Structure 1
Amino acid sequence: MSPDLTDLRLFVHIAEAPSLTRGARRAHISTAAASARIQQLEARLGQQLFYRSNRGMELTLAGQRLLIHARRVLHQMDYLIEDMSESQAPEGHLRILANTTAVTELMPAVLSTFLAERPRLTIDLRERLNHDIVRGVTQGSADMGIVAGPLAAGPLERYHFSTDRLVLITSPGHVLAERQNITLGDMVDHYHVGLHDSSSLMQFLTHRFQDIGATLKLRVQVSSFEAICRLVAAGVGIGIIPESAARRHCLLMTLAMIHIDAPWAVRERSVLVRDATALPGGGLALLEALRHYGQRTEEVVDSQR
């Protein structure tokens, strides 16, 4: 007998908790009833789904496989209900995972127009690292992912929507300000202004410095590119940010912008989905809006170089 949707939802709640008690509470049933339903589910599938211990519930390999499929089935059912219900918006709800630049720079610009034209569409946008984005889209916890740079995306569909490059910014009076091009080694002895440690860009840069046997010397860490630019303009340190963000802030602040001489400085942005044709309402339209915005941004940056 195949598992029903109630069993799958309970299973996902417990797996995400990961606790039988908390999972049962989320499903609005008693712990005893939840335990019995999970045992019945395991019997139907002929697989043990959880390791049970005093520390909680840990998925077995079979449980990990089921979690991927269960999320996909439940999300598709949610999409079906949204699309068929007259009381719901035709566009529905989108779950998006994105890297730092997309969350802080790209998505606000895209969504301001896109959502204004779709008053009933709702979006859950969360910042994640590249590998977490790939896993989230693959496992079905997100409908769409936005990443930068080369990475293995497995069976996911990848749609290019723009290319940007990382640049160094300094105050006009900084010793590096007159350089046309610069290498990472040239920056080792200088203090940097950077993003918080959990940002994908900061982790990427930390690894690049480690590649050359150096440490990224941080003086201040902030939460936005605007804050980086303001501190750099004040002479607090130097910073590495996307060129598109640097050019925008250079219109408001006095900054020197220097190209970084390294292949990794060029960053291709991509949208990842499992199946574009299966996206919930509004998903395909957002995918096209992202690609159109990326093309326009590339054209503007190219004209300014």
Structure 2
Amino acid sequence: MLFDMNDLRLFIYVAELKSLTRSAERMHLSLAAASSRIKGLEARFGMRLLYREAKGVKLTPAGETLLRHALDMMQQFTMLKSDMQQYSDEIKGHVRIFANTTAVTEFMPAALGTFLRSHPNVNVSLEERLNNEIVRGIQDGAADIGIVAGPVQAQGLDIINFSTDQLILAIAADHPLSNHETVLFSDTLQYAHIGLHEGSTLQHFLDRIVSESGQRLNLRIQVRSFEAMCRMIESDIGIGILPKSAAQRHKRAMRIDLVELDDPWAVRERSIVVRSTGTVAQYMRDLIDCICALPTY
């Protein structure tokens, strides 16, 4: 049975967007043409693949099975193009990465620098996302590689642990906590905090920790970078939680002190998430190797 890859790509978009109209727009097709392609797939298999509902479409059990295989086939097709394009000087591929805050700001610049120097014909898109969005992006085929910190629900995906992410407390040099070697996060909640913006994976994680404890976080200011956070902390506006690697880097240029957190969640596994390590394109495997080869932070 032969398949048109564009039909499969359209079906994947329909599953992702839950809308035939929006999927047609993404494929630059008329609604009638997109509907005809989906009906053609259903006729080929002799079964319904979608439930048409008032608010959009939903996959049938058969549609879920087709989606799983369609994603695998698209990934195999990407791998085929990658392997064949090594004989061409044109752009060989594109890697879509969803990553958490620390990855985007701290270690991915170094990993991508190394990777792109040896792969000048590969383009990369890097987006900051929450852990659950990263996993869903890999499952849905919206991203090729995901980078997360801490435990995630990633059934059916391959997970590669490559380092740890240690969170630490940063305070002004003359702060009352400066004489502590370690501190519990709960003991910091009596002080005003400087946090990252609401879309940050780290801030989302800390908000969840506070919520589960039944306590309250006095979030005085939210900023968009670890550097801005440390500047605020240096000015004694508040204290903040950030990755140890970022804190140590900014400490070299600012008058801040660092205190280790004595909470078990303060040290988290950093992991790479992919659909299958055996089917990703060679250049994607090379990028994974670059990430895994980074110094431990």
Same fold (TM over 0.5): yes
Deviates more, 1:130-139 or 1:92-101: 130-139
Q: Which residues in structure 2 correspond to 1:11-50 (within 5 Å)?
A: 11-50=11-50
Q: Which residues in structure 2 correspond to 1:45-84 (within 5 Å)?
A: 45-84=45-84
Distance 1:153 1:33 in 2: 35
Residue 262 of structure 2 is aligned to residue 229 of structure 1: no
Contact 2:75-2:279 at 8 Å conserved across structures: no
Distance 2:195 2:66 in 1: 40
After superposition, the CA RMSD in angstroms is 2.2
Note closer, same or farther for the CA distance 1:191–1:260 as it changes in structure 2 (3 Å cut): same
SS in 1 for 2:270: strand
Contact 1:94-1:280 at 8 Å conserved across structures: no
Residue 149 of structure 2 is aligned to residue 148 of structure 1: yes
Residue 10 of structure 2 is aligned to residue 10 of structure 1: yes
Contact 2:95-2:284 at 8 Å conserved across structures: yes
**What's the CA shift for 1:88?**
5.6
Give 2:127's aligned residue. Answer: 126
**Which letter does structure 1 place at the counterpart of 2:8?**
L
Contact 1:71-1:141 at 8 Å conserved across structures: no
Give 1:159's aligned residue. Answer: 160
Give 2:206's aligned residue. Answer: 205
Residue 205 of structure 2 is aligned to residue 219 of structure 1: no
Q: Which runs of 5+ in 1 are unaligned?
A: 299-305
Q: TM-score, normalised by structure 1?
A: 0.88
Note closer, same or farther for the CA distance 1:286–1:33 as it changes in structure 2 (3 Å cut): closer
Residue 136 of structure 2 is aligned to residue 135 of structure 1: yes
Contact 2:192-2:218 at 8 Å conserved across structures: yes
Contact 1:69-1:139 at 8 Å conserved across structures: no
Contact 2:247-2:258 at 8 Å conserved across structures: yes
Q: Which runs of 5+ in 2 are unaligned?
A: none
SS in 2 for 1:248: helix
Aligned length: 296
Give 1:239's aligned residue. Answer: 240
Note closer, same or farther for the CA distance 1:89–1:156 as it changes in structure 2 (3 Å cut): farther
Distance 1:199 1:137 in 2: 19
Distance 1:51 1:278 in 2: 31
Q: TM-score, normalised by structure 2?
A: 0.90
Residue 114 of structure 2 is aligned to residue 113 of structure 1: yes
Residue 243 of structure 2 is aligned to residue 253 of structure 1: no
**What's the CA shift for 1:39?**
1.8
**What's the CA shift for 1:186?**
0.8
Distance 1:88 1:66 in 2: 35
